[in-house]
Amino acid sequence: MTTTSQYKLQMYKNKRVLVSYFNNTFRTFYKLNTSVKALLNMLYKRVTKNMNKVFFLLLSVLSLSASVFAQENTDNYITWSAKRKLTWKDFKASIPAVTRGASASTATSLHFSYSVKAGNITYELNSFFNPEKSWVKDKTDLILGHEQGHFDIAEIYIRKLYKALQEYTFDKKTYKKDLQDIYRQVAKDKDVFQNEYDAETNHSINVAKQKEWEEKIKGILKELEPYAKYK
């Protein structure tokens, strides 16, 4: 059996070993941590040195997402055509749990991409209807006409976009931002116009206003016919 003195001596030795172990471990960690700090500092200097390039790349990636320069699969989308009107069969999405009083919903989008070669820009534009995100609850001719109006408004603004692009003067230093700004402004204007259409017609409930808007939309499409050759 270990005596009390021997036990205390053993505890003291164990304590010294333990302290020594922690000191060595700390020194090893500190050296490792110092190396990590040096590596991080080196990376930080390289990143900040090229921050403008990194930011520009990030901005370009963001510009290519969502609705701006949209590149998602559009195989099942319907391209606007004066000869091809919407039918209720085109509305394939399920009715959402919350409709907020709406009888139908039309999902449209403006698609825009471009390429630059030797200072010349070529554009690809389209106004699309997305069947998989469009739904209907109450099927009437009046409501279908209202939803067609939303699709026609998308066509109006793709033509306005094409007009703005035709009027744009290429600047190799700023063209990416310039084109992004042009697109964003047209898309913003489109949303405002769509909201005005819904508000004034009360989503087709105001029949007289609905008829007025159908004629108004038809007139604007006619006015923008010179810019219908974007396809």
Render pLDDT for 61-70 as a digit per residue (tens, 0 to 9).
Answer: 333 333 344 4
- Neighbour count for residue 179 (Cβ, 10 Å): 22
As for how many domains the chain has, the answer is 2
- Could you tell me what percent of the chain has a pLDDT over 70? 68
Q: Is 60 part of a structural domain of the chain?
A: no
With cut-offs at 50, 70 and 90, classify the pLDDT of residue 35. low
Residues 141 and 200 both lie in one domain: yes
With cut-offs at 50, 70 and 90, classify the pLDDT of residue 129. very high
Residues 93 and 207 both lie in one domain: yes
Distance CA 188, CA 100 (A): 23
Residues 167 and 74 both lie in one domain: yes
With cut-offs at 50, 70 and 90, classify the pLDDT of residue 40. very low
> Which DSSP helix (H) or strand (E) runs through 123?
strand 120-129
- Say what the pLDDT of residue 74 is: 80
Q: Is 36 part of a structural domain of the chain?
A: yes
Buried/exposed 188-218: b ≥16 CB within 10 Å, e otherwise: eebeebbeebeeebebbeeeebbeebbeebe
The residue-averaged pLDDT of 184-201 equals 98
Q: Is 143 part of a structural domain of the chain?
A: yes
The residue-averaged pLDDT of 141-158 equals 98
Residues 102 and 18 both lie in one domain: no
Among 33-42, 67-76, 146-155, 172-181, the minimum mean pLDDT is found in: 33-42
Residues 32 and 144 both lie in one domain: no
Residues 117 and 11 both lie in one domain: no
Residues 139 and 221 both lie in one domain: yes
- Say what the pLDDT of residue 175 is: 95
Distance CA 104, CA 144 (A): 8
Residue with the larger pLDDT of the pair 55 and 130: 130
Residue 31 lies in domain: 4-49
Has residue 88 got a pLDDT over 80? yes
With cut-offs at 50, 70 and 90, classify the pLDDT of residue 130. very high
Residues 11 and 76 both lie in one domain: no
Q: Is 45 part of a structural domain of the chain?
A: yes
DSSP string computed for 137-163:
SS--HHHHHHHHHHHHHHHHHHHHHHH
Residues 185 and 83 both lie in one domain: yes
Q: Is the separation of the CB atoms in 80 and 155 below 8 Å?
A: yes
Q: Is 61 part of a structural domain of the chain?
A: no
- Say what the pLDDT of residue 41 is: 60
Between the CA of residue 147 and those of 34, 86, 209, 214, 224, what are the distances in Å? Answer: 64, 8, 14, 11, 21
Residues 41 and 70 both lie in one domain: no
Residue with the larger pLDDT of the pair 13 and 130: 130
Helical segments of the chain, H only: 4-49, 51-63, 141-167, 175-201, 207-223
